[in-house]
Amino acid sequence: MRRALFAVSGTVVGLVLLLSFKTHPAAVSTPPAAIGTPQAGGGAAPSATPSPSSAPSSAGGSGGSGGSGGSSGSGAAKTITGEAAQTRYGPVQVQITVSGGTVTNVTAVDYPQTEPRDIQINSFAIPQLNQEATAAKSTNIDIVSGATYTSQGYIQSLQSALDRAGL
Amino acid sequence: MTVPMTVSMTVPMTVPMTVPPSARTVRVEPCMGTVFSFDIRDPGDWTGAVADVVAWLHRVDRIFSTYRPDSDVSRLQRREIRLADADLLVAEVLDRCADLEIATGGHFSARRDGRIDPTGLVKGWAVEAASRRLRAHGAADHAVNGGGDVQLAGEPEPGREWTVGVADPHRPGRILATVRGRDLAVATSGTAERGAHVLDPFTGRPVTHLASATVTGPDLSTVDAYATAAFVLGRSALPWVDGLPGYAALLVDLDGRQHASAAWPG
């Protein structure tokens, strides 16, 4: 179990966009009940109206708004919560469950949900990301070609899900 | 010319992702306004090799980025330096651009508004070169993905070909076709991620008659330019690609219909 956890947190260093884990053995966070449950305190509010941008961003500078990472778990399964990553729609925070060295679930625990467009995006894109990661694995897709995504677009891409599966 | 395609994409949701320990070396690196993914299947520790390739990619970005005022290409565009004063890689890429402009009948071009702008080729060229650098480090079986443009080397596991999913331009996060192969390059040009950003070199106007154009072939720098040209050409790209041995194309129109060239391997 410790080995799997270490593997995740070690390789995630390169994945600064999405999953910058800090594993605090002492910190225990309660997993959220379900996707769609608003976070207490409205922490998911985006700072501005979403505005798609075609300009490359300084991707390395994104991420890390609040959301100090933590891990919790008991028995076989371990849940790891990444730091919030800033996207063009607002902060996105992802939680993965590792069981016996296997990533068994990827869940967005925090994502923009105030603007109507946010709700449309998230009710569609974020649950689907998890489904597609699973589907791609079951059909043995190794890699994805598509129109060039921005750094932000990568976060919601199937490629990012495949990359996480390999972490 | 239009070949009806059979696409199988079942979506069972119950299979957990399994991660065989140390079977893959995966590294993700933001660069050039997008994200590069490295997936090495050879056993071993590739940390140093990937670090070398990543450092090289950032060097390429510093030389070619039109978003950096101090890049060689930005300074060339402002005529502050001559080509002979720029990094040697600039002349190499501009030579490739000139060859590819001829090969595509002008439908791919690195000139815009009278200025040179190799941005449309740099990423695909850099991914191909990154793959060559990984090979030189000894990684025979790997995949490099630069923002959706893919160069594959070897195979993902002994006896199995790489399987590349082609993103559905109308349904984010979904796959509409797969391509299998070894030592294969796949590039897609389209509007799904960044809107109508591809300009027709002849009219200067954004291309909006297709949702996406995907081209496969042996080397990504060529495939990348061909995908751009195919996107600009629209349906007439199919007879053009049919005349290019080793290359194949899949077009997705605005209604979601797929049109494949005769050699499309899907």
> Residue B37 and residue A143: Cβ atoms within 8 Å?
yes
Q: Is B122 helix (H, G, I), strand (E, B) or coil?
A: helix
Alpha carbon distances (Å) from B24 to A75, A84, B122, B189, B256: 27, 26, 27, 28, 34
Give the closest-approach CA distance of A41 to chain B in angstroms: 30
Asked whether the beta carbons of residue B163 and residue A157 sit closer than 8 angstroms, the reply is no
Contact B19 A101 (CB under 8 A): yes
- Nearest-CB residue to A166 (from B9, B24, B33): B24
* Element at A72 (helix H, strand E): strand A70-74
Provide the greatest CA pair distance for chain B.
59
Rounded-to-integer distance, Cα B260 and Cα A16, Å: 37
A50-98 pLDDT tens trace: 333 333 333 333 333 333 333 343 446 666 666 566 555 555 666 666 5
Q: B177-190, pLDDT tens digit by residue?
A: 889 999 999 999 99
Neighboring chain A residues of B65 at a CB cutoff of 8 Å? 56
d(CA B249, CA B179): 11
pLDDT of residue B192: 79
Q: Which is more confidently placed, B115 or B138?
A: B138
pTM of the model: 0.67
B140 or A149, higher pLDDT = B140
Q: Are B229 and B242 within 8 A, CB to CB?
A: no
- In chain A, what is the straight-line distance between the N-terminal and C-terminal CA atoms, in Å? 15
The domains of chain B, with CATH numbers, are: 10-260 (3.10.520.10)
